[in-house]
Each structure stands twice: as C-alpha cells, then as structure tokens.
C-alpha cells in the first residue's frame, strides 16, 4: 500500500511504512482496546507459565515448550493490536527511547501486571491450588545474574526483531530464544517483571524481596540490551 501526496503540483506515491514487530499497526486504536489486548495476552501467558509448573508430570522441557509456544501464539494473535509485549520491560524501553507515549506506557504496565496476576490465580484455581504466603530471603548472586542475562538476551532478540521488515520474525525468534533460556538458566528465565510479580500469587509464594530484585535486574538487562542493539543498528527503526 502507498499514500498519495502532492509535490510541486504533481501527485506521487509515497510507500507506506511497514509495520514493525512489537509495535501496534494502528496507534489511533483506543488505549482501552490496546491495553485489553496486553492484559488478556499476559494473563494467558501466565496461565501457561504457572499451569505448566503445577502439572505433576511437568518436566523442564515440557514447561519450556508450553511457555515458548504460548508466547509465539499470543504475539501472533495480539501483536497487530497492541504490539504483543506482555512484558513491562519492552514497554518501558520503548517509552525511554521516545517511541511510546507516557499515557500508553502506564496503561500497558497496569494491564500487564493485572493480567499476569489474574492468569496466575486462574491457573491456581483450575489446578485446585491455593496461593501461598509470600516467602522471605534474598536471591543469591547466581540467581540475579541468571535473570539479568536472561533479560538481556530476550530483550536483545526483541529489539533486533523490531528492525525486521516482517512481523512474522519476532514471535518465532522470541519463542525460540525463550525456550533455550528456560532450559539453560537456573531461574528458568523469568525475564519479565509482570511474571515476577504474578509468581507472588502462586502456591510456592515467591519472596517479595527476590521479586523486587529480579524486577530491577530484568529492567537493567533490558536497558543494556536496548543500548547494545542501538549501537549495533544505529540507523534502525
């Protein structure tokens, strides 16, 4: 598709910019609709994350396949409407880079956190589990490093894919990386502040202090990834 513009009295066709991965196709769509897509998508993602962990016969491989497969499907399903983030770090980095307005960022963050908590609670309900009380203790350096590295890797894939001219690249690249990271990191590659918060509502009762520290290193890892990708692709979108 192309737009028609008048130039010095002559009509000319101007190529329409191609939609990018993790960017909604139409930014004029209401914030409610876009945020609803983010909330529902994050809830469904957490249903897969928590549900795969509550399965008695679950293995690391089956959990990795469940989570990565669900994320691929959700990005394909909701990406045109909201960009398919389901991860506050993506939204925050787009805002910090000037590619997303503050009001949209706040709506997205609220929807992602609320959706994540809802998805975790629904998973507990269908498996007849009760959310446990928050745990205590601080994560060790290995766990924090694991989350920082996992977030750096995931966000590097995300921000590199936003340079692609095909929206089909992002979902599969992110899903494949996440599957590998889940299997190769001791924390299982949470790499998502909304997931970290939602895990507080699971039967194991995640530690509040660990959750806060994970969120910090996840965002720092995302910021380093954004800086790296902008250096590697200085003229990227």
Which alpha helices (DSSP H) does 55-192 contain, by range?
A: 60-82, 88-96, 102-126, 141-161, 169-184
Tally: H helices and E strands in the chain:
8, 2
Contact between 123 and 46 under an 8 Å Cβ cutoff? The reply is yes
Closest of 160, 33, 147, 17 to residue 90, by C-alpha: 160
11 beta partners:
6
Tokens coding 142: 């290995």
For 22, 80, 176, the CA distances from 167, given in Å and listed in that order, are 8, 9, 15
> Is residue 91 assigned to a domain?
yes
Contact between 203 and 125 under an 8 Å Cβ cutoff? The reply is no
Provide CB contacts within 8 A for 184, sequence distance 6+.
none
> Is residue 59 assigned to a domain?
yes
CATH number, domain with residue 221: 1.20.1080.10
> Is residue 6 assigned to a domain?
no
Whole-number Å distance between alpha carbons of 84 and 102: 18
pLDDT reported for residue 12? 63
pLDDT reported for residue 58? 85
- As a whole-number percent, the residues of the chain with pLDDT over 90 amount to 82
pLDDT reported for residue 7? 52
> Is residue 27 assigned to a domain?
yes
Encode pLDDT of 102-158 as tens digits: 999 999 999 999 999 999 999 999 999 999 888 778 899 999 999 999 999 999 999
> Is residue 80 assigned to a domain?
yes
Whole-number mean pLDDT of the chain? Answer: 92
pLDDT reported for residue 190? 97
Average pLDDT over residues 164-184: 95
Kindly state the DSSP code that residue 69 receives in the 8-state scheme. Answer: H
> Is residue 94 assigned to a domain?
yes
pLDDT reported for residue 204? 87
Domain with 228, as residue range(s), is: 21-232
pLDDT reported for residue 135? 79
Neighbour-count burial for 66-77, b at 16+ CB within 10 Å, e otherwise: bbbebbbbbbbe
pLDDT at residue 230 is higher than 50: yes
Contact between 37 and 82 under an 8 Å Cβ cutoff? The reply is yes
Higher pLDDT among residues 65 and 15, named by residue: 65
> Is residue 168 assigned to a domain?
yes
Task: Output the furthest CA–CA distance in the chain (Å, rounded).
Answer: 71
Average pLDDT over residues 190-200: 97
Whole-number Å distance between alpha carbons of 194 and 109: 8
Tokens coding 113: 């956190």
> Is residue 5 assigned to a domain?
no
* Other Cβ atoms closer than 10 A to 180: 14
Tally the domains of the chain: 1
Higher pLDDT among residues 39 and 163, named by residue: 39
pLDDT at residue 4 is higher than 60: no
pLDDT reported for residue 1? 44
């Amino acid at each position: 598709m192309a737009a028609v513009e008048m130039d010095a009295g002559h009509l000319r066709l101007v190529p329409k910019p191609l939609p990018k991965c993790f960017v909604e196709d139409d930014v004029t769509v209401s914030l409610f609709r876009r945020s609803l897509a983010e909330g529902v998508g994050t809830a469904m993602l957490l249903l897969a994350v928590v549900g795969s962990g509550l399965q008695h016969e679950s293995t690391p491989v089956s959990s990795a396949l469940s989570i990565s497969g669900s994320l691929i499907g959700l990005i394909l399903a909701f990406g045109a409407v909201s960009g398919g983030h389901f991860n506050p770090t993506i939204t925050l980095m787009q805002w910090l880079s000037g590619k997303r307005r503050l009001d949209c960022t706040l709506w997205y963050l609220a929807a992602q956190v609320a959706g994540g908590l809802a998805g975790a609670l629904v998973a507990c309900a269908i498996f007849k589990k009760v959310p446990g009380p928050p745990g205590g203790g601080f994560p060790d350096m290995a766990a924090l490093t694991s989350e920082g590295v996992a977030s750096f890797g995931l966000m590097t894939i995300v921000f590199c894919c936003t340079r692609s001219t095909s929206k089909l690249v992002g979902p599969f690249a992110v899903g494949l990386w996440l599957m590998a990271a889940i299997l190769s990191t001791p924390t299982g590659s949470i790499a998502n502040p909304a997931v970290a918060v939602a895990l507080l509502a699971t039967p194991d009762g995640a530690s509040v202090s660990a959750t806060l520290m994970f969120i910090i290193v996840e965002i720092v890892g995302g910021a380093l990834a954004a800086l790296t990708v902008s250096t590697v692709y200085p003229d990227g979108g």
